[in-house]
Structure 1
Amino acid sequence: MSDHKIFSMAFSKIYPLYVQKAEKKNRTEEEVIQIICWLTGYSSDDLANQIGAESDLATFFAEAPTLNPNVSLIKGVVCGVRVEEIEDPLMRKIRYLDKLIDELAKGKSMEKILRS
């Protein structure tokens, strides 16, 4: 695994940025929580515990109960890179989450974001 700087960033520092991005576009923190829980398998209580523990992103994803089986349906570009082409598994998971939050901020319905 590469040693990207983002891997050691605390999820608790990134989470408010996701919420802020969503709220700027008239979406809610509850929707952000729903997306994160859908992707990672965390319950909302487990998610709150991860935020409180200030886990880094590597730990956050390593301790995630289970990645959603529909994660392969997440496609598109984040930061100029196609998420489905990212080789590093941890970076791909981080970018999946980024992509889902981007879709929320762009006004997609939760049904489409959660690949229902």
Structure 2
Amino acid sequence: IDEHRTRHFNLHFRNFQTEPKHDDAMIKTILWGLEEDAQVIDYVQPALTPASNSNELLVATDGPEKAYRDKAARLGEQLGRIDVRRLRDMRLDRVLVIPSPARNGGGNWVHDTVPLVSSR
């Protein structure tokens, strides 16, 4: 998992065709959708989501993406965002961890946290 790769977990719930004999068809449909998305996503430029929506043209059908980005921006302002450019260099020679609330109380931690870009 890094700035160019994610890990996807899928929980699929359905209230129709719930018998096990339909599982393979449902899985095939899910995989078809994921593969169709990948054909687009693999070539999207820029590869990383811009830090601001101001340089993009978002239309009404981009509502879910905008809602996600707005939520991610609020969390980034609250918690800090991972500085992926600094992280790329730092991870070459050390183990880095995602900061947890327990680190706020001090302590003798073995690993440094990933570098953050703070909006505070």
Q: Looking at CA atoms only, which structure, 1 or 2, has the larger radius of gyration?
A: 2
Structure ranking higher on relative contact order (CA contacts 8 Å, 6+ apart): 1
- TM range, normalised to the smaller chain? under 0.3
Q: TM-score, normalised by structure 2?
A: 0.22
